[in-house]
A and B are shown apart, each in its own frame.
Chain A
Amino acid sequence: MPAVRGDGMRGLSVFISDIRNCKSKESEIKRINKELANIRSKFKGDRTLDGYQKKKYVCKLLFIFLLGHDIDFGHMEAVNLLSSNKYSEKQIGYLFISVLVNTNSDLIKLIIQSIKNDLQSRNPTHLNLAMQCIANIGSKEMAEAFGYDIPKLLVSGDTMDVVKQSAALCLLRLFRTSQEMIPSGEWTSRIIHLLNDQHMGVVTAATSLIDALVKKNPDEYKGCISLAVSRLSRIVTASYTDLQDYTYYFVPAPWLSVKLLRLLQNYSPPDDPGVRGRLNECLETILNKAQEAPKSKKVQHSNAKNAVLFEAISLIIHNDSEPNLLVRACNQLGQFLSNRETNLRYLALESMCLLATSEFSHEAVKKHQEVVILSMKMEKDVSVRQQAVDLLYAMCDKSNAEEIVQEMLNYLETADYSIREEMVLKVAILAEKYATDYTWYVDVILNLIRIAGDYVSEEVWYRVIQIVINRDDVQGYAAKTVFEALQAPACHENMVKVGGYILGEFGNLIAGDQRSSPLVQFQLLHSKYHLCSPMTRALLLSTYVKFVNLFPEIKHNIQEVFKQHSNLRSADAELQQRASEYLQLSVIASTDVLATVLEEMPAFPERESSILAVLKKKKPGRVPENEIREGRSPNPALATNHNDSIVSHAKPSAVSANASADLLGLSTPPANQPTAPSNTGMLVDVLGDMYGGQGGQAQQNSSFTAAQSYNPKKFVCKNNGVLFENDLVQIGVKSEFRQNLGRIALFHGNKTPFPLVNYETTVSSPGDLASKLVIQMKPMDSVLEAGAQKLQVLNGECVEDYIDAPSMNISFIYNNVPQKITIKLPLTINKFFEPTEMNGESFFARWKNLGGDKQRAQKIFKASPPMDLASARTKVMGFGMQLLDGIDPNPDNFVCAGIIHARAAQIGCLLRLEPNKQAQMYRLTVRSSKETVSQEICDLLADQFE
């Protein structure tokens, strides 16, 4: 047993020895339980326990707790110790409480009372114990109880230095717990002036506090800048003997220096030229000192010195205003890159990442590229290699992208598993961002899949497909390259996915070559089919059906495959369904329909790269430093991401609930029903909305329950969906509008096992509507075969503004019974809106101009409960006008602008919808140059909410 200093508690030492002598876990537990029983009985029975004994038992409990056992008693005894007038007993009491007490409400009151007494004590040692306890626990109750006393202690003239030190940090802890208790007003300047205190310990503690206060309220504490700079200046120019005990291994006051440099990073460079000059001198001095010979060989010396240096470099980077300092900093870090201390290499790589983002030092950082690449390859410690990868990513620009990407690809073959996924993302982002030649981009991504296929996340392969689809200059190359990559006997499943998708879209571009003829392409893909997961198989089935359109000559081979998988032999319901639907599609649909349905994917809308978003999510806060370059090397104009569509192609499993609903639907119509998804009515949706929109699902479901579903109101705010459905027919619609022209595709589906004869459609327009909205339409065949679906296209032209909408009358004979259906066509005037983007100023100017009685329309109406702003938003957005966010000071209000296109005129239109949540009422105001338009628009939209 080692010697015990101070007051030994022998009982405690004996107990600790006993525990250490236990040979097994069991005997240790036995010994502990014995002790716990002993202490419990002492605390319960013996009322004459003196302070010393209490202290000793409390200490034993503490030891048992630290061994990892739970302690559920003794808290009260510890609290009792707090009021002992013996320091040693009080101290143990406080220790127990700070280690063991969570914010247990009953005790906390007692504890706070004891602390209060000690805070008022004249004895500084008691005072310090109390403050240590506050700083250790720092609960909300404490912030409330001591929010006034502690600041007073901190700035009062007669407080001892050591108490001030504790008070500063104590206040800091309470401030972190409860931000409201921020000393302000006269306190501010007194706290700031602690930076001038004689006592270095006080300044150090105060700087920590001020740093936190500044973060909350930078303006109020602005005065600290010049004081901090002066203080820093005095330290860096001091010789190491000046500061006596605050010099650490020949480095004057490293802790205070670092804190001051941190504090200054809360502000931009000082405005005052004098202060700014002095600060730059300090920074230069620190950089100069780094070049001096070390005053000691001890690692403590170099650590302390470099700690200050790194903090100074952080400040230089933060200020980002002195090119000279930035370049010097970069050179300094460059030296560290080959230092033998791993820690320094790690930190240098980390700091350089930040330097790479400054336009002043980016070029300087690039000079170290070779060393950094070596670090990535050679460092023994993966965390250092990781930093090197981060730095390469940050220093990458157009000039070095090919080399860096190549090096990263090379390294990826042997890279640690822990960093592969992130590296893959980084390579993908760099390749995309700096590609001038998209064949290079395609090569890089396919290499990624080849080298590290398991780590290529969905986002990465979605992305390459998006880019290939949006850039027709690379499609042929992509098709050729994936075709070659698929030749490998063992290729990664992700390669099959990309290959399948790309050949399905662009396989025709390489089909001229006998080596990659349609049949060869198909057989190559199908040779991988059985090795793949259901998700990939589903994707391949989609590819095959696309081949039916691209290569009619191999239709039969493909139909064979569909036949094989459309029955029970294919265990996966989704695959079975796809196979049978595609089979029917290929059998029944005419070439024209096939060409429409299986058309090439439309270009994806541009957005931020989806991969970048993933990387940001993975490493919040410390990712894409690779941003600064944007200005100089403009992001290649490439289209981005529309994840949903790709997902719907690739990810059927996500919607299996929906898929099973489809199967249910199949049981009603006869077996030779042409296309299974006809209960959505829209062939066009086979690859699109089928798995996507919520709306589609809701409709499908409703079609099983209601005998007839018809709600024309819904189509005011949307263009696609099932317009009408009953037991006999289903009418789907898909419409497009451009300027004053519209094209409406109606899909007439026969749900019965019998043909519908004398099938006739006519359009009727009330009043003079026929002249205002001209509609042309091809007549339909008079027979709609059992289970068939026929497309009918209507073209509409808006000649002048109108109200209401035309209807379609459909008549046919089913089972010798004549049937008649009238449906409103989704051709309301709002369809001819062109959304108009405008800023607040011009909006309000126009709004004011359209203030006349003849231009306004207003409606106040009750929300059909409950009011739901999210769905209101969807409706407003579907209405056709531009939703202008941020214009109305009330964020709940919707403000929109749009132009109605008619042949005769264009009519500008503004709209404001104000929800009143309390009253559950809406107020809708529409202003346009024409009264009838205002009124109609107002009615149409209001109708959506009633």
Chain B
Amino acid sequence: MQFMLLFSRQGKLRLQKWYVAHPDKLKKKITRELITTILARKPKMCSFLEWKDVKIVYKRYASLYFCCAIEQDANELLTLEIIHRYVELLDKYFGSVCELDIIFNFEKAYFILDELLLGGEIQETSKKNVLKAIAAQDLLQEEETPQGFFEDHGLG
């Protein structure tokens, strides 16, 4: 996989993960073009499209679009299921995930993605194992973090 983008129906980028090195300018350009292209497509259309030299696989969940760019020889259907697995993980972790969860906890969304995909390849397909790893991270954090007075009162 070359990159994954999450964006809203309004075209706001919510998460971006790049597995190939591009200059920032190019990343912005690709993002802009792709969001426009996908938002223009109608609901019943095919989830795959040829775009430049990659294949785009996308799917909409509620207000969010999940969009992956994959190599020509990669498997489109299974890419859809990578997206679905990611959504399931987010859903399980946040409990009925919504766009806001991803906005406010973007770092968590990244951590979960890093457990699922590494360097653009699927790392762990077992939902149980990923959630276990994330739970272990949370545990470590809770042990480490002293919740001070200021923090508790939103003054941090």
A positions within 8 Å CB-CB of B:
1-2, 4-14, 16, 20, 52-53, 56, 59, 62-63, 66, 68, 70, 86-89, 91-92, 95, 99, 102-103, 125, 131-132, 135-136, 138-139, 162, 165-166, 169-170, 172-173, 200-201, 204-205, 208, 245-246, 248, 253-256, 258, 262, 300, 303-304, 306-307, 310-311, 342-343, 345-347, 380-381, 383-384, 386, 621-622
Contact = CB atoms under 8 A, between A and B. Distances in A.
B156 A56 contact: yes
6 contacts: A70-B24, A131-B118, A201-B125, A307-B75, A307-B77, A307-B81
A86 B144 CA distance: 7
Nearest to B80: A303
Nearest to A174: B119
Complex A-B, nearest 7 residue pairs according to Cβ-Cβ distance, in ascending order: A11-B156, A173-B119, A307-B77, A135-B119, A7-B145, A307-B78, A245-B126
Contacts of A200: 125-126
Given A132-B118, A165-B124, A343-B48, A7 B78 contact: no
B125 A246 contact: yes
Given A2-B101, A10-B156, A342-B46, A208 B121 contact: yes
A255 B125 contact: yes
Contacts of B140: 87-88, 125
Contact of A622 (B15, B72, B84, B152): B72
A200 B122 CA distance: 12
A347 B76 contact: yes
Q: What band does the interface of chain B fall in when counting residues whose beta carbon is under 8 Å from A?
A: 35 or more
B127 A258 contact: no
B77 A7 contact: no
Given A170-B119, A303-B81, A346-B46, A103 B21 contact: yes
Contact of A88 (B15, B125, B127, B144): B144
A1 B104 contact: yes
Interface in B134-156: 136-138, 140-142, 144-147, 151-152, 154-156
B104 A13 contact: yes
Contacts of A304: 77-78, 81
B107 interface: yes
A68 B14 CA distance: 10
A5 B145 CA distance: 12
A92 B49 contact: no
B8 interface: no
Contact of A172 (B28, B93, B119, B144): B119
A56 B147 CA distance: 13
A255 B78 contact: yes
B106 to A, nearest CB: 6
Contact of A380 (B28, B44, B123, B142): B44
Contacts of A66: 13, 15-16, 106
Interface in B60-111: 72-73, 75-78, 80-81, 84-85, 93-94, 98, 100-101, 103-108, 110-111
Given A87-B140, A88-B145, A201 B78 contact: no
Nearest to A347: B76
A16 B103 contact: yes
A131 B114 CA distance: 11
A448 B6 CA distance: 43
B118 A381 contact: no
B119 A68 contact: no
B28 A138 contact: no
B133 interface: yes
B50 interface: yes
B24 to A, nearest CB: 8
Contact of B133 (A162, A254, A303): A162
A136 B104 contact: no
A384 B46 contact: yes
Contact of A7 (B73, B81, B84, B144): B144
B76 A68 contact: no
A343 B108 contact: no
Given A95-B111, A384-B46, A248 B23 contact: no
B125 A87 contact: no
B46 to A, nearest CB: 5
A591 B106 CA distance: 85
A345 B105 CA distance: 38
A409 B105 CA distance: 54
Contacts of B104: 1-2, 4, 13, 16
Nearest to B105: A4
A621 B71 CA distance: 12
A249 to B, nearest CB: 8
B62 to A, nearest CB: 15
Contacts of B101: 2
A246 B77 contact: no
A255 B44 contact: no
Contacts of A245: 126-129
B30 interface: no
Contacts of B146: 52
B117 to A, nearest CB: 9
B77 A91 contact: no
A343 B127 contact: no
Nearest to B127: A245
Nearest to A1: B104
Contact of B154 (A10, A70, A381): A10
Given A87-B137, A258-B75, A201 B124 contact: yes
B105 to A, nearest CB: 7
Given A10-B156, A201-B123, A254-B81, A343 B138 contact: no
